[in-house]
A and B are shown apart, each in its own frame.
Chain A
């Protein structure tokens, strides 16, 4: 089973839930797909055994063959190409902004002169390791890169189907999140009982409904804020799988890089219960279809 941990709003506790859930269960593979700022390793402290570079194909133009027809610019869905035709004083050029390129290959495929070839551009690294019998994989996007979905997809290529896979997703509701949660059997949305938490939860719920991934909610810092997140979940028949109180003990342990299940063993049972809740909610969602 693949369980992804996501949230509309950042800083709600995705990594806390992913890490503690992973440490409470057996036969786990944890994937940190928050590649812009992977931080699960700070709590897991895995032994990294292997590193591989991650790259995307980007176009390179052979100026000798190029006629500046502009086809590549027209087909680029990401507006990453500009074509300056030549005139008497200027020989013309094709400008490619590789940081906007998604590596889809349309420009090289459709160039009528075959003037575009694809070259590899490094965008980050993938690190693989382990902690006890937990497998750990994380992606790390190079500083200055903005194109995280290709790296997230490459991290997910390491999914081990013989294990229970937990994916720590990036925050938000855009392409990186969709890339991370796609193909999951269940998604846990971590939120907090505040107006911001609720607003972004609603957006995330819309995404998951569209992707048809069953989901449930974990309310972090559940004893602050208001009751509107719970009202929303009740009205939408969304299961609230776990509530984590606003506790000094958790905050102190987090700031030291110690997962709460290692400090307070009673949390281990709470996270095992979360897992049972996930299984139950997933089965119920599947039986409805």
Chain B
């Protein structure tokens, strides 16, 4: 019987998702070296220093340190998972590997690579339609490992 209540909760959550989609709260994520909008965009996705979650409608943002940075494997997968859990609709970063690309694509999250400059510049660029969506990974696995980044 507990499943009935649980299913109800799922349906309510699903309904909430629909409202969110149709509403105005559009969340994007920018990989960042620091925790402010003046920080530089981190060229790595899975192993970036920080994620900045930015609401394109309210202009509010939240910075979160990347706990997946230390993983020996699976950093891209779990960073992709974080985007899914946070309800992000678009990711702006320098490069993305094959595993992260697969997770984001499965969740229908748009991916924009070759983004550089400050986080603020990246957001402006995104709003002005400067970036093209990346339909393939831009680097191979382990790109962001220490000693392997550009």
Contact with A along B73-90 (1 / 0, CB 8 A): 111011011001000000
Interface residues in A226-282 by Cβ distance below 8 A to B read none
Contacts A84-B106, A90-B108, A95-B106; A78 near B74 (Cβ below 8 A): yes
A39 at the interface (CB under 8 A from B): no
**Is the beta-carbon distance between B17 and A87 smaller than 8 angstroms?**
yes
Q: Is the CB–CB distance between A80 and B74 below 8 Å?
A: yes
Contact present for B84 and A82 (CB under 8 Å)? yes
- Taking the nearest CB of chain B, how far is it from the CB of A269, in angstroms? 44
CB atoms of A97 and B74 under 8 A apart: yes
Are B74 and A88 in contact (CB-based, < 8 A)?
no
Count residues on chain A whose CB falls below 8 Å from chain B CBs.
19
Task: With CB as the reference atom, state the residue of chain B lying closest to A85.
Answer: B84
- Tell whether A115 is near chain B: CB-to-CB under 8 Å: no
Contact: B14 with A88, CB < 8 Å?
yes
Is A89 touching B108 in the complex (CB atoms < 8 A)?
yes
A84-B106, A84-B107, A89-B108 known; A100 vs B74 contact (CB < 8 Å) = yes
- CA gap between A83 and B81 in the complex, in Å: 7
Q: Is B63 an interface residue (CB 8 A)?
A: no
B68 CB contacts on chain A under 8 angstroms: 79
In the complex, A93 has a CB within 8 A of chain B: yes
Q: Are B10 and A67 in contact (CB under 8 A)?
A: yes
Complex CA distance for A73 and B81, rounded to whole angstroms: 9
Closest residue on chain B to residue A68 by CB atoms: B10
List residues of chain B with CB under 8 Å of any chain A CB. 10, 14, 17-18, 21, 68, 71, 73-75, 77-78, 80-81, 84, 99, 102-103, 106-108
Give the nearest-CB partner of A93 in chain B: B106
Q: A82 vs B84: C-alpha distance in the bound complex, in angstroms?
A: 9
Report the bound CA distance from A89 to B107 in whole Å.
10
What residues of B have a CB within 8 angstroms of the CB of A85 in the complex?
Answer: 84
Question: Which parts of A73-112 form the interface with B (CB within 8 Å)?
Answer: 73, 78-90, 93, 95, 97, 100
Compute how far the CA of A90 lies from the CA of B75 in the bound complex, rounded to whole angstroms.
24
Report yes or no: B77 in contact with A84, Cβ–Cβ below 8 A: no
A96 to B129, CA, bound (A): 33
Contact A87 B81 (CB under 8 A): no
Closest 10 A/B residue pairs (Cβ): A79-B74, A87-B17, A82-B103, A84-B107, A82-B81, A79-B78, A100-B73, A84-B106, A88-B18, A82-B77
- Counting chain B CB atoms within 10 Å of each CB, the highest count among A82, A83, A88, A97 belongs to A82
Smallest Cβ-Cβ distance to B68: which chain A residue: A79
Asked if residues A97 and B81 are in contact (CB atoms below 8 Å), the reply is: no
**Which residues of B have CB within 8 Å of A80?**
73-74, 77
Complex Cα distance A95/B84, Å? Answer: 12
Smallest beta-carbon distance B2→chain A, Å: 11
Kindly identify which residue among A67, A86, A87, A95 contacts B103, using a CB–CB cutoff of 8 Å.
Answer: A95
